[in-house]
Amino acid sequence: MNRYLLSGTLLTILLLGSTLPVQAQSSTEARKLQQLLETRDQQIKALLQTDPLTAEDREQLKDLINGFVDFETMGRLALGPFWADLTPAQRQEFIELFSDIVREQSLSDLDIYRARVQYDRIEVQGDSARAVTTVIYKETPTQVVYLFTRRNGQWKAYDIIIDEVSTVKGYARSFQSVIRKRGFDALMKSLRKKQARMARSRSS
């Protein structure tokens, strides 16, 4: 399961990249999405100039990196048919736990935020958008596709597809396998252990 949590982190990490060529898209919403990505990238890179990072800086980084991630949609899709069986309280607890783990994991490798990202195109259809990019990290290019949905007038990212492999589907395979074999409570117990390990690592 850790591999998918790490993959999920890339959803928040690699969204932040270099400038999208203006000619790639002309629609108003595509330009808004481009501006969102560029602004986040500038804010993250500016904060990374601080050395060393304080605890407050790290919290601000987590907010900047994960601010436009739609954890509710991501979590709902990851649980698939099991989502309908949960009570509102269970859903809320799961999303809070899931998002906390991803937020914390997003700071595991700060160097990746300096990766160069080429935005090839952004496609907007109604309240959905798709950004196709090429990420160059440690001289290795990788095609990365981001899926967005617009909620309450704001674009939120809910999936990342790396070399045609969906992060959400990876979560789904991992989480749903645990639920089928041992139940939802077992999944939550596993996630809480992960959260506790990360908290101990942060404080050490």
**Domain parsing of the chain, residue ranges:** 2-199
Answer yes or no: are the C-beta atoms of 37 and 119 closer than 8 Å.
Answer: yes
- Tens digit of pLDDT per residue, the chain (204 long)? 444 444 544 454 444 444 444 333 347 888 888 788 778 888 988 898 888 889 899 999 999 988 888 999 999 999 999 999 999 999 999 999 999 998 998 888 888 787 888 888 899 988 999 988 887 888 889 888 889 999 888 899 999 898 889 989 998 999 999 999 999 999 999 999 999 998 888 776
Sort 170 into a burial class: Cβ within 10 Å, 0-12 / 13-18 / 19+.
Answer: buried
CATH of 2-199, one of 3.30.1360.40, 3.10.450.710, 3.40.50.300, 2.130.10.10: 3.10.450.710
pLDDT of the residue at 204: 65
Q: Do 133 and 117 contact (CB within 8 A), yes or no?
A: yes
